[in-house]
Amino acid sequence: MSIAAMLLLVVSFTNAQSSDVKAEAILSDYFSLKDALIGDDTKKSAQEGSKLVASLKAFDASSYSKENQEELADIIEDATEHAEHISESAIDHQREHFKTLSKDIADLVSITGTKSTLYEQFCPMYDKGSAWLSTSKEVKNPYYGSKMLKCGKVQKTIQ
């Protein structure tokens, strides 16, 4: 292998690691937002929405294939819009945007992968059925918070 090829491999690996770190930061901020919604905390949800906007904007998809880069750009753009709405809204509206945001984050994870085991959970009651991601098998519903904390089930494990 030539030195140039080795350098390209190192740069690609470094960029992939950087993207993975940025993807994990997005997940971390998403889970903080989810926890704030579970706690019925409008102000904290808004703050976490703002943090998520920043981590979404910091994501670099350059180490992914051209096809994945285009898909990731669409996901990031949509997720950023929903996170911005969450950062400016009352809790009912935050929860509405969290539904689509959760789909975006699940789509992101399907491309970037994750170092953690995640659980896709589902509430059949909220808006004709709504999913979200969690790091725990225990269901804590972000759509209803304290009103119906345990409403839902694990529908998929992501590893």
pLDDT in tens, 126-158: 999 999 999 999 999 999 999 999 999 999 999
CATH number of the domain that residue 42 is part of: 1.20.120
Total domains present in the chain: 1
Q: What is the pLDDT of residue 62?
A: 93
- Kindly state the average pLDDT of the residues 1-14: 40
Indicate the helix (H) or strand (E) that contains 122. strand 118-123
- Which domain covers residue 57, as residue numbers? 3-113
Judge whether 90 lies within some domain.
yes
pLDDT at 104 over 70: yes
pLDDT in tens, 64-83: 999 999 999 999 999 999 99
**Helices 3-38 and 91-112: angle between axes, nearest 10 degrees:** 150
pLDDT averaged over the chain?
A: 90
How large is the angle between the packed helices 66-87 and 3-38, nearest 10 degrees?
A: 30
Cβ neighbour number for residue 134 with a 10 Å cutoff: 20
Q: Do the domain assignments include residue 156? A: no
- Per-residue model confidence (pLDDT) at position 13: 40
- Domain membership flag for residue 129: no
Q: Is residue 124 part of a domain?
A: no
The answer to the question of residue 28 being in a domain is yes
What integer pLDDT is reported at residue 96 of this predicted model? 98
**Is residue 146 situated within a structural domain?**
no
The mean per-residue pLDDT over the stretch 20-26 comes to 91
The token duo for 114 is: 């994750």
Chain centre distance of CA 27: 5
